[in-house]
Amino acid sequence: MRTSLGSCFRSFITITYFIALLSIFQDLRCSIRGRIMSATPPEKRSSSESLASSPDGRTFSFQTVGDEHLDIGAIVSMRISGQCAVIGQIQQVSPSDDDAVSGAGKIIGKVIGENRLLMTPSERFSVAPLVAAGGPVIELLQTTSKATLKMGTFLNTDITARLMPEKFNRHTFWCGQSGSGKSYALGVALEELLINTSLPLVILDPNADFVRITESNTRPETGTLATFRKRRIRVLRPHRNNTNQVLRARFSTMSLRAKAAVLRLDPLVDRSEYNHLLHLENLIGGTEPGVIVDQLRGAGTEGADLLASRIENLRLADWDVWARTDTAASEIIRERPDATVLDLGGFDSPDEALVVVLSVLDDLWHARETRRPVLLIIDEAHNFCSTEQDSPLHRAVRERIIQIAAEGRKFGLWLLVSTQRPSRVDQSIMSQCDNLVLMKMSSSRDLEDLSATFGYVPPSMLARASLFRQGEAIVAGGFVPAPAFIKIRPRFTPEGGFDVRVPLRS
């Protein structure tokens, strides 16, 4: 009996002890909350209140009561002590029926004092006042991240939005549907890279969007534009004129694999012709077209005759793409100008453009051990990276791009892949991209693919892409301190391609 009474008494004492601890904790929380509220001006105290907490120092949740508007993507500040404020980004917002808004986000870092930002997780905190970060905090965030490429402004603000040039040493995926301003915005990025870095650019330009990059929209040319004009930019076009060099490839220096793709040869199906190709040198390029077939016919072998017939049937010797006495594109790129624009859209045969692309890709890959960095910009990448295109040349180009995406980064071969159709770009290329620029995209399938591939972008932010106006974008990944909505600035170089207007009657 005594044992039973003693046990009950000890249980009563234990319960009382925990109730007392809970009461102390609640009093402490109310005290902190009271101090927060006392710091709020009386006229605002009843209309607006935002409090946040973090269980792990990496994420936070918050609740707002009243008229304060905190949207997805907003950068916020949470002061946890007199000298320390935690900086975070809202990634989820859930309104309720009682005018309260709750949400969650990710912690970016913490500000110590007035101008020292540490890009690290914070300590845990149970309650802290939350406010929208002002321009100075956002500027500090970009300055600390060494973001210098001026792309425009953060959406609905006049705060300059910048990218980090050093992070273009990772592959970048750039997309937006037709009319979103994708190529125009890409032109802005190219301007900034040329001004702020010495990274050579190789631009595959199927629609002549960047062929006027050596011109300017502004007179007189002063300041930044004058600096830009000092850059060595080569524009190569299919047809010769007084202002450009011609875009050519040299067959004799192409790899055996590339030559076979041009000739549509399979090493097993076309054994005899392929074997003869193994022993040929300077088939096309340094030799006049009329002489090539004559030499093959004079060889007196079945393989040579078949190869000669193939060249004649495909009319390869008549293609304008062969360098002959001109300088090939790959030879110009080896000189490492600041930018080389390859205008791929003016050839009579689409395969001629693929020949140039393949020769350039192969040359860059074969020189990879030199580890001399190059940024390869592939505009309208669905024309080169789609599994739906299965000709020998398309396969050879796609496989080389896949190889560069998978292995090129450590050699300094970095990709910027731009497209209006993400679902048509090979997934093994998309999955290697650490940076993302997404402009207006209405296709639910494309948005689903992007969400599945780019897990570092909050789905709530990706979903906004269908509502964008022309020139608006999400930037995310390694080249920004946090995903952001931005408005692209005007270009100071003219756009090569533009929309054709509907003629109206007066």
Question: pLDDT (tens digit, 9 = 90+) per residue, 392-404?
Answer: 999 999 999 999 9
Q: Which of 339, 336, 388, 384 is nearest to 361 (CA)?
A: 384
Residue with the larger pLDDT of the pair 210 and 279? 210
**Stretch 112-129: mean pLDDT, rounded?**
87
d(CA 251, CA 367) in angstroms, rounded, equals 18
Rg (the chain; Cα; Å): 30
Instruction: Look at residue 67 and tell me whether its pLDDT is greater than 70.
Output: no
Decide: 66 and 47 in contact? Cβ < 8 Å.
Answer: yes
3-state secondary structure labels for all residues of 309-339: HHHHHHCHHHCCCECCCCCCHHHHHCCCCCE
Enter the DSSP assignment of 487.
E
Please, which pLDDT band fits residue 45 given cuts at 50, 70 and 90?
very low
DSSP secondary structure code for residue 241 in this structure: -
Whole-prediction pTM: 0.85
Q: What is the pLDDT of residues 284-326, one digit of tens each?
A: 444 555 567 877 888 778 888 888 899 899 998 889 999 988 9
Residue 249 DSSP label: B
Give the list of residues 6+ apart from residue 398 with CB closer than 8 angstroms, or none: 384, 385, 386, 387, 389, 426
Higher pLDDT, 475 or 325: 475
Q: What is the pLDDT of residue 289?
A: 54
Q: Are strands 125-132 and 116-118 parallel, antiparallel or unpaired?
A: unpaired
pLDDT at 375: 98
Of 325, 357, 323, which is closest to residue 340 (Cα–Cα)? 357
Neighbour-count burial of 43, counting CB atoms closer than 10 A to its CB (0-12 exposed, 13-18 middle, 19+ buried) = exposed
- Are 439 and 447 in contact by the 8 Å Cβ rule? The answer is no
Amino acid at 171: H
Instruction: List the beta bridge partners of residue 54.
Output: 125
Calpha distance 124→57 (Å, rounded) = 5
* 497/437 Cα distance (integer angstroms): 20
Whether 342 and 323 have beta carbons less than 8 Å apart is answered as no
* pLDDT tens sequence across 144-178: 999 999 999 999 999 999 999 999 999 999 999 99
CA distance 228 to 491: 12
